[in-house]
Structure 1
Amino acid sequence: MLTLIFGLSIDSSIGRADEAHLPEQARMELFIDNLHEADKRQFLDNENFYLPYEVWAGVKTDAENHVTSITWRNIFRHEGSLNVRFLSHSVTFLQATGCALHSGISLEELPQSLESLYLSDNRLMGVANLTSLPDGLKFLYLGTNHFTGEVCLTNLPSGLVTIHVSENRLTGPIVITNLPASLKMLAIEKNFCSGSLDLDCLPLSLDRLFLSENHFSGELCLTHLPRALRYLSASDNRFSGSLDLTCLPEAMLGLNLSNNAFSGSLDLSSLSHNLLRLYLMDNQLSGQLCIHGLPEHIRTLHLEVNAFQGNIVFGAIPIGLVEISISKQRGAKLCDLDGEAFFDERIHVVY
């Protein structure tokens, strides 16, 4: 077992009062104390003593030698964990991505100074407690881990800009009606979250919302989305009911609602003028399909594997559109607004 320079051990003998007075060197050594011995070697000299933390890879300090930033990407190869309770109160940036970290992590023990936390691509597990994060936290990346249980999004830091918890094992309902006003991205795709979602009270600043590959259900209202929203992905869920696409934000560039159970007729005549990509395949949309009045800059339109009836009517197709993918019943025809046969090599018909 490697000994610490200051002769400390990470046991209950270190009280909270003692921690506050620990030297910076001791804090950093205790911070990595639960890493695998092989991974610690990069922080040791030839005699197996810890190097000064100022020369550790990825560690930055200020003029007074206080640690301000730690950036570790793919530098640990063996299972281990970090003791975040010993992080210096001067640290504003912590990244440990792709570092084979496992076991739980006590997010409530992070220093109040922290503004950015990147812990994606590890094997962190347990419940992700987001209710006691540092008040000044702006960027939170916990994606591609093994976090489980429900996640609470109702008591987050007021200045949070990004929440990324995709590709975990989160379950239960998600409440997104009281998110921070500053939030620009919320990513919770590829989990097992369920229940209905209310999109009527999202932050006005929200730019990207990723909800795909969960178990969300119920109707999805798209008529009161934030004006700044550019990307919304809610594919591969269990949403149902009708779709109203007539009030999408003008800023919207991409909308993916494929592989759900949306039904009813579809109005494509009043889409956002800036929309580039629209994915509605694998639903239960029905009625006659009229592809007319599409946005000038749209490039991709996927409507295949639905239940549209009758002939498919086309108006003018924008020059920049690369592909339209549709399904039609046998015997149904593609025709223009005057009922004449219509052909365009960009149209891909799926039977």
Structure 2
Amino acid sequence: MEELTELDRRIVAALQLDGRCSWAEVARLAGTTESTAARRGGKLLEDGTVRVVGVADPLVCGLGQPVLVQLNCAPGAVRSVVDVLAARSDTRFLALSTGNWDIITEIIVPSRQVLVQALVDEVGGLAGVHRTSSALVTRNFAMRHDWSRDLLDAAPTAVPSSADALADPVEPCVLDDVDRNLLAALADDGRRQFRDLAKGLTVGETGVRRRIERLVASRALVFSTLVSPAALGFQVELFASLKVDLAQLDEVARLLAERTEVRYVSATAGAADLVCEVILARPADIYSFTTGVLGGLPGVRSVEIGLELENHKRAYRPFEI
């Protein structure tokens, strides 16, 4: 994929701060005119280079428990396994990886019975799958949607990082049919206007605005601007699994969550105590990150690194219109 121009990157970085912000605000953050921001940003959205989507949090929405699954496959079977996993509606994340595992995926399961069926009968039973490992995600510390904010000359301090909202545990949010319809519509296009979202619903434009504000405030809904890191000049995506002294796990997780290059941090009950996803500009940065950042964390006993070769899914659609 070709890298975007410097101005296009700044426009995308502004959208990653707030996927629903006006073109005037995008222009201010990117250092251009409103008409230029609307024209160039609109083209990136139209051709699919960039997507703004509303993401429902499964834990807050009471939809189920995230489970991290890693798979080793027979030579030649990886592509077919990826295709099956990508087609699953409960798959939230899916990537090819180097290291000890060929595929890393995250699925959302509503119950233990469904988990058994998914792991044993469905995923574990796929042709070509030789070995699997699974871990329950017990706490999410960061799900960063603004990892490109450093591309802006001065990222506004008034706009909180998308990792900040995960500082404390969340309470489940009770959804009704209107909420579910809004979440389904925003999963297709996170920039849809309130008046368009209100069509066919029992609430008007003002009611839709209030609903979305409530969903965002309760952390049931997050807006994410999806773009390939390579298009913005970031050449490396890696997945790190850490074994940590349990007394220091919370401190280590929070230190990682504070870093802009760390897109995702979760505690897991499995082979690793913490897992994190990291975006870096150059392959040379892997060494400095592993030694300078991971190596400086307290209580870390071991680290396993895998490079993400291809990302096949980073969206979750629990509701359909």
- Class of the TM-score when normalised by the shorter of the 2 chains: under 0.3
Give the structure-2-normalised TM-score: 0.21
Highest RCO, 1 vs 2 (Cα 8 Å, sep ≥ 6) = 2
| Higher helix proportion | 2
TM-score by length of 1: 0.20
Greater Rg by CA? 1
